[in-house]
A and B are shown apart, each in its own frame.
Chain A
């Protein structure tokens, strides 16, 4: 049972490039989340999904897009990467809105 798996683990991009981060969960959870963690700070919510086909904005959504075409997958896209988006990105899932969240191991993204 893998839990929450994030792909890739590391990536370096140039300013203006695009990329997609993939999050997959095998726990049949309804809710999925994308966070970013900057040095010395806690996690901040980017976008989240309350079920297949739904997405909603979190605390810091600008510059990101998401999609939840399948229940087990939650994709985070950067259309035109900027140095300010250099961060560690975490995906999480939970069975419901008021249930414990389970996290992936993170993706370290550097934008040059």
Chain B
């Protein structure tokens, strides 16, 4: 089945810094989502981005489907950005069975 790999696994930054999180997937996908799991465990939708680029405030995401990767950019980090960021892919070969990566744990220091 499809493999979804995220890097780096952990990232510690000072408030105000920028960061790039990467998600690689081993097979063609129908869609790609990015989620933020906050310190209380809630999963929050960030982007639904099967291809192209989207922006929402300080966050933006780019998926290059032909090269099988997606990037999440966070600019001017704030302490509230801390948590775990997951990407999840829906492969062409398995309708409805979305596969999650293992996440990037981001810690923003004040």
Contacts and interface: CB of A to CB of B under 8 A. Distances in A.
Interface of A: 31, 33, 40-45, 48, 50, 56, 58-59, 88, 90, 97-103, 105-106, 108
A41 B86 CA distance: 10
A22 to B, nearest CB: 18
Given A98-B31, A98-B90, A101-B33, A45 B98 contact: yes
A54 to B, nearest CB: 11
Contacts of A105: 41-42
Interface string B99-110: 111110000000
A102 B45 contact: yes
Contacts of A101: 33, 45, 88, 98
Range of interface residues on chain B? 20 to 34
Contacts of B99: 45, 59
Nearest to B33: A100
Nearest to B102: A42
Interface of B: 4, 30-31, 33, 35, 41-43, 45, 48, 86, 88, 90, 95-103
Given A31-B96, A59-B97, A103 B102 contact: no
Given A98-B31, A98-B90, A108-B41, 10 more contacts: A31-B96, A40-B102, A43-B88, A44-B100, A48-B96, A58-B97, A59-B99, A97-B96, A100-B48, A105-B42
Closest 5 A/B residue pairs (Cβ): A42-B100, A100-B48, A103-B43, A43-B100, A97-B96
A49 B45 CA distance: 20
Contacts of A31: 96
Nearest to A100: B48
Nearest to A31: B96
A101 B89 CA distance: 11
